[in-house]
């Protein structure tokens, strides 16, 4: 399919291309939605009345016709040129004439009406390439409910057309190749509960000599269908037919899902009952165990074995490592509590089950008179450290595996490794890995939340130029995380960050507070509360929140942000010496980015330590030669008073 000089892309992010180069689009989301609506619903022979468009796009504005005239003028600037008028005014009506343009959505519609069965394989591949995402992907429009319903229906309609294209492409695949699996992966992503792409995948795997992978895919799919209440019997029958039809295919026994072991998407952990070696009658050890199990489960990041199973094995005298193997978990936690005079000591151990290898161990001490406070301290420390250490282990494991062999959990953890590098290249790679994880498991709430954070970083660190779109994507992916699991604190954390980007501070704080209400041990929730309060909220709340986040996660990859947020809070309290000390500590962290260095340089500039400040300015300029105080202030949401202080400091240290 030859590409004409002028293209309008509606499937995926909206784009207009002239000669292959993107044309600047209006910032207004309503103008963008209007372009798509007119492209799909109007033509010179079938224009749309202006009154209809006013009702649809402007619910209760002061001047709907004026708004429409302004919007159409913006469209003319994008679509019209000296040779052709494409935005038509036809009396009381309006239409677009895009007959000389390639409009991806119209191209797909025409091919579907003509019959995909009549299309060549090359034509089907061209149609598949036109799908770059959902219709108007990432666009959220505040308009009438009718327009929202229209957009939802159109997105569903084009998804169905994409599925039809992929189904036809798959049916034409006579030889199994990498392209075959790319088509099947795309089909499965769009229709994970549809039996047909799973049958095609099983057939392709067997035909390519990978019966073991076919068996694994079948097992995973059966469990997914069972969890969603979908009858998996037809898929089992199809598998039996594929086996019979395949010469020398290996025997695979189909086991009822109720009897088959469930393959957990998350890393799994069992917390064995802590042992009180001196006073078992006090039940302090049991209290510790129960609290750790409960709070780990609230994090929603790990598959935590229920209390009853752990206690049942302990009562039979089975050691922790053996219990971990019997429970088929990845990690096992155990602990021993002892009293030495007036002192309480608890030794905690986290071990990797498969190799019986100790991942982390520590001894915590306190006076016996402080038992209740000590218990809370231990639980906080143990829960945060277990989550942190397991995440680090899973990242290491994922990094060592070939990218093509990663499952959803592994792709997510490999993405985290890149995400915390805070560079443009690594952020792009992290986004790719999170999207790969979501293709494998669209219900993976943490992967949606992490994907939202990559879009947050694109805005905050200005890694991409399309700021408004990145904010929309941060909101969209955070919303998808909430849709996948609205009790995951990370989902509310992602939404809180995205809302802060949009400037909705009160709504942002509500989401962040919800994240730590769901899981008091969620360190990132406490940190981000401090981050928001440090700039324009309550600086004393910021100090308390960042302190708590550092206590929960002392080796967190965002430690620099925790320290820097406390520094900002001290600036707003007029405590510039303390601010400088905390900011210098933040800048010393190995992954501190330019904004952190700018906080340190600016706070030093507010004291008499200006030579140190200029050294940091030189470090900033070595990374970002054009970085100025304007870049710094654009990233944050400071009060006018704080902004004035930072501008004054910038003049003194050469950051203008």
Average pLDDT, integer, range 236-246: 75
What does the block give as tokens for 597?
A: 């260095």
Indicate if the pLDDT at residue 492 is higher than 50: yes
Query: Which residues, including other chains, have CB under 8 Å from residue 523's CB and lie 6 or more apart?
Result: 384, 549, 552, 553, 556
Residue 372's pLDDT band (cuts 50, 70, 90) = low
H helices within 208-275, ranges in order? 211-227, 233-245
CB 485 within 8 A of CB 300: yes
Indicate if the pLDDT at residue 256 is higher than 60: no
| DSSP at 81 | -
Average pLDDT, integer, range 245-250: 47
Residue 374's pLDDT band (cuts 50, 70, 90) = low
Lowest-confidence range among 129-143, 176-190, 438-452, 498-512? 129-143
Measured CA to CA, the distance from residue 226 to residue 496 in angstroms comes to 33
Indicate if the pLDDT at residue 438 is higher than 60: yes
Which of the given ranges, 65-69, 262-266, 317-321, 565-569, has the highest pLDDT on average?
A: 565-569
Comparing 567 with 19, the larger pLDDT belongs to 567
Residue 248's pLDDT band (cuts 50, 70, 90) = very low
Q: How many CB atoms lie within 10 A of CB 400?
A: 9
Structure confidence at residue 254 (pLDDT): 32
Measured CA to CA, the distance from residue 508 to residue 493 in angstroms comes to 9
Single out the residue of 351, 555, 592, 107 nearest to residue 565, CA to CA: 592
Average pLDDT, integer, range 497-506: 94
Query: Which residues, including other chains, have CB under 8 Å from residue 203's CB and lie 6 or more apart?
Result: 242
Structure confidence at residue 594 (pLDDT): 94
Measured CA to CA, the distance from residue 536 to residue 533 in angstroms comes to 6
Separation in Å, CA 350 to CA 33, 334, 388: 53, 7, 11
Which phi and psi angles does 293 have, rounded to 5°? -60, -45
Comparing 655 with 551, the larger pLDDT belongs to 655
Average pLDDT, integer, range 357-382: 76
Looking at the whole model, is its pTM more than 0.75? no
Degrees to nearest 5, angle at CA 600 with 495 and 504: 25
pLDDT digits (tens, 9 = 90+) for 421-433: 899 999 999 999 9
* Widest pairwise Cα distance in the chain: 94
CB 525 within 8 A of CB 488: no
Average pLDDT, integer, range 621-633: 94
Measured CA to CA, the distance from residue 84 to residue 41 in angstroms comes to 20
Indicate if the pLDDT at residue 244 is higher than 80: no
Average pLDDT, integer, range 646-655: 94
Indicate if the pLDDT at residue 305 is higher than 60: yes
pLDDT digits (tens, 9 = 90+) for 524-554: 999 999 999 999 999 999 999 999 998 888 8
- Walk me through the domains of the chain, giving residue ranges and CATH numbers: 6-145 (1.10.10.10), 268-373 (3.40.50.10610), 403-653 (1.25.40.10)
Indicate if the pLDDT at residue 467 is higher than 80: yes
Measured CA to CA, the distance from residue 243 to residue 250 in angstroms comes to 8
Single out the residue of 390, 373, 361 nearest to residue 296, CA to CA: 390
What is the percent of the chain with per-residue pLDDT over 70, rounded to a whole number?
Answer: 93
| Rg of the chain over all Cα atoms, to the nearest angstrom | 29
Structure confidence at residue 249 (pLDDT): 37
Total residue length of the chain: 656
Indicate if the pLDDT at residue 643 is higher than 90: yes
CB 68 within 8 A of CB 53: yes
Structure confidence at residue 258 (pLDDT): 37
Indicate if the pLDDT at residue 472 is higher than 90: yes
**What is the secondary structure of 388-433 as a DSSP string?**
HHHHHHHHHHHHTS-GGG--HHHHHHHHHHHHTT-SHHHHHHHHHH
Average pLDDT, integer, range 76-92: 92
Residue 276's pLDDT band (cuts 50, 70, 90) = confident
CB 96 within 8 A of CB 39: yes
């Amino acid at each position: 399919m030859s590409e004409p000089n002028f293209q309008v892309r509606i499937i995926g992010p909206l784009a207009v291309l002239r000669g292959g180069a993107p044309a600047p689009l209006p910032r207004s989301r309503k103008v963008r939605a209007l372009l798509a609506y007119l492209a799909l619903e109007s033509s010179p022979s079938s224009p749309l009345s202006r009154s209809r468009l006013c009702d649809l796009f402007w619910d209760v504005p002061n001047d709907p016709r004026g708004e429409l005239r302004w919007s159409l003028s913006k469209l003319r600037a994008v679509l019209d040129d000296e040779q052709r008028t494409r935005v038509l005014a036809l009396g009381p009506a309006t239409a677009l004439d895009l007959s000389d343009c390639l409009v991806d959505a119209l191209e797909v519609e025409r091919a579907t009406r003509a019959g995909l069965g009549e299309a060549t394989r090359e034509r089907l591949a061209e149609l598949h390439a036109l799908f770059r995402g959902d219709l108007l992907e990432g666009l959220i429009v505040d308009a009438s409910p009718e327009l929202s319903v229209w957009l939802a229906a159109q997105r569903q309609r084009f998804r169905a057309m994409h599925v039809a294209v992929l189904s036809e492409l798959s049916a034409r695949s006579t030889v199994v190749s990498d392209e075959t699996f790319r088509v099947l992966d795309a089909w499965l992503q769009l229709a994970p509960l549809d039996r047909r792409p799973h049958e095609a995948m099983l057939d392709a795997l067997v035909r390519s000599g990978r019966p073991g992978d076919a068996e694994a895919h079948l097992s995973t799919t059966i469990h997914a269908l069972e969890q969603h209440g979908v009858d998996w019997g037809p898929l089992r029958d199809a598998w039996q037919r594929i086996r019979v039809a395949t010469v020398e295919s290996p025997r695979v026994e189909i086991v009822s899902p109720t009897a088959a072991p469930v393959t957990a998407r998350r890393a799994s952990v069992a917390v064995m009952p802590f042992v009180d070696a001196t006073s078992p009658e006090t039940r302090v050890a049991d209290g510790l165990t129960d609290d750790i199990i409960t709070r780990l489960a609230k994090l929603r990041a790990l598959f935590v074995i229920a209390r009853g199973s752990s206690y049942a094995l302990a009562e039979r005298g089975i050691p922790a490592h053996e219990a971990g193997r019997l429970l088929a978990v990845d990690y096992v936690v155990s602990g021993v509590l002892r009293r030495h005079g007036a002192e309480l000591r608890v030794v905690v151990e986290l071990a990797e089950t498969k190799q019986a290898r100790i991942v982390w161990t520590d001894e915590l001490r306190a006076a016996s008179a402080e038992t209740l406070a000590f218990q809370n301290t231990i639980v906080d420390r143990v829960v945060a450290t277990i989550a942190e250490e397991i995440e680090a282990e899973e990242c290491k494991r994922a990094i060592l595996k070939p990218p093509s062999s990663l499952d959803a959990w592994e792709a997510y953890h490999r993405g985290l490794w890149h995400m915390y590098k805070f560079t443009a290249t690594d952020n792009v790679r992290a986004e790719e890995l999170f999207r790969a994880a979501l293709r494998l498991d669209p219900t993976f709430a943490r992967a949606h939340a992490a994907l939202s954070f990559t879009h947050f970083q694109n805005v905050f660190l200005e890694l991409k130029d399309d700021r408004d779109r990145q904010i929309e994507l941060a909101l969209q992916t955070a919303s998808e995380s909430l849709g996948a699991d609205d009790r995951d604190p990370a989902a509310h954390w992602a939404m809180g960050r995205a809302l802060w980007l949009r400037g909705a501070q009160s709504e942002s704080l509500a989401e962040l507070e919800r994240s730590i209400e769901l899981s008091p041990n969620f360190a990132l929730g406490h940190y981000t509360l401090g981050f928001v309060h440090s700039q324009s909220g309550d600086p004393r709340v910021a100090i308390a929140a960042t302190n708590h986040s550092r206590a929960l996660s002392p080796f967190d990859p965002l430690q620099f942000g925790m320290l820097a947020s406390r520094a900002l809070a001290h600036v707003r309290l007029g405590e510039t010496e303390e601010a400088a000390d905390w900011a210098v500590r933040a800048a010393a962290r190995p992954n501190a980015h330019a904004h952190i260095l700018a906080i340190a340089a600016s706070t030093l500039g507010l004291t008499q330590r200006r030579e140190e400040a200029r050294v940091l300015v030189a470090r900033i300029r070595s990374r970002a030669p054009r970085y100025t105080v304007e870049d710094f202030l654009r990233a944050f949401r400071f009060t006018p008073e704080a902004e004035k202080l930072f501008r004054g400091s910038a003049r003194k240290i050469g950051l203008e």
